[in-house]
């Protein structure tokens, strides 16, 4: 018997896969330079060492709370991040959260897989930047067709200091901004949405 995954289930599965396969550690403030055993940096951006990887990702070392350094990779080239507009101090929108809803429209004409990647790029970092090590929960901004009763409907008007919302959207400009305790991540298409998500990820770990 074949098992069919609904859209929300597929997104959840891929986000969990990204979280499990991501490598990251708790950090204190800003990224630090790698230890002596680290490879030679490919380049520096804002005095931070970056490493171009064979898979096309860009690695950086973050300082953990125990004083050690831990690598983490991004898809967005940090040298181009300023092409994506972003609001300052977005960490404050989620710092006191106990749960964070990641929302998107299930009726978008876009790839579920790429939407999952965009969501995963952000949610892997949420425990690092919230006091309560908040977890994320997937939600829709509107009903799917057919309706999935297992997925809650959440929009920006539902966002609170305890339950903020991160909304993933397709628009006419790559940018990240907020209203209240709702953060909008916007890309011109699914691929650009992933890069906008990484732009927020960089800011979460103190890279601007």
Provide the pLDDT for residue 37. 55
Provide the pLDDT for residue 78. 96
Provide the pLDDT for residue 180. 97
Provide the pLDDT for residue 65. 64
Give the strands of the sheet with 99-104, arranged side by side: 85-86, 175-179, 182-187, 165-170, 99-104, 135-140
Model confidence, pTM: 0.81
Q: Are strands 182-187 and 99-104 parallel, antiparallel or unpaired?
A: unpaired
C-beta of residue 60 within 8 angstroms of C-beta of residue 54: no
C-beta of residue 203 within 8 angstroms of C-beta of residue 128: no
* Residue keyed to tokens 């790559």: 174
Provide the pLDDT for residue 208. 86
Phi-psi region of 133 (alpha: psi -120 to 50; beta: other; left: phi over 0): left
Burial class of residue 54, CB neighbours in 10 A (0-12, 13-18, 19+): exposed
What span, in angstroms and rounded, lies between the C-alpha atoms of 119 and 99? 15
Provide the pLDDT for residue 119. 98
Query: Which parts of the chain register pLDDT below 50?
Result: 1-5, 10, 12-30, 34-36
N-terminal to C-terminal alpha carbon distance within the chain? 49
Provide the pLDDT for residue 76. 97
């Amino acid at each position: 018997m074949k098992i069919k995954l609904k859209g929300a289930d597929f997104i959840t599965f891929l986000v969990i896969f990204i979280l499990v396969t991501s490598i990251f550690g708790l950090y204190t403030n800003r990224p630090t330079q790698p230890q002596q055993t680290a490879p030679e940096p490919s380049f520096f951006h804002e005095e931070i060492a970056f490493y171009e990887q064979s898979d096309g990702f860009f690695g950086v070392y973050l300082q953990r709370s125990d004083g050690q350094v831990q690598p983490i990779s991004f898809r967005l080239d940090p040298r181009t991040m300023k092409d994506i507009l972003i609001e300052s101090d977005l960490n404050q929108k989620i710092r006191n959260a106990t749960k964070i809803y990641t929302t998107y429209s299930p009726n978008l004409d876009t790839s579920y897989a790429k939407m999952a990647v965009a969501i995963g790029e952000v949610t892997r970092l949420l425990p690092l930047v919230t006091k309560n090590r908040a977890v994320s929960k997937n939600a829709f901004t509107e009903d799917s067709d057919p309706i999935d009763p297992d997925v809650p409907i959440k929009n920006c008007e539902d966002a609170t200091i305890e339950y903020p919302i991160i909304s993933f959207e397709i628009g006419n400009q790559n940018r990240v901004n907020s209203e209240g305790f709702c953060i909008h991540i916007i890309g011109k298409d699914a691929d650009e949405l992933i890069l906008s998500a990484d732009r927020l990820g960089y800011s979460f770990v103190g890279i601007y």
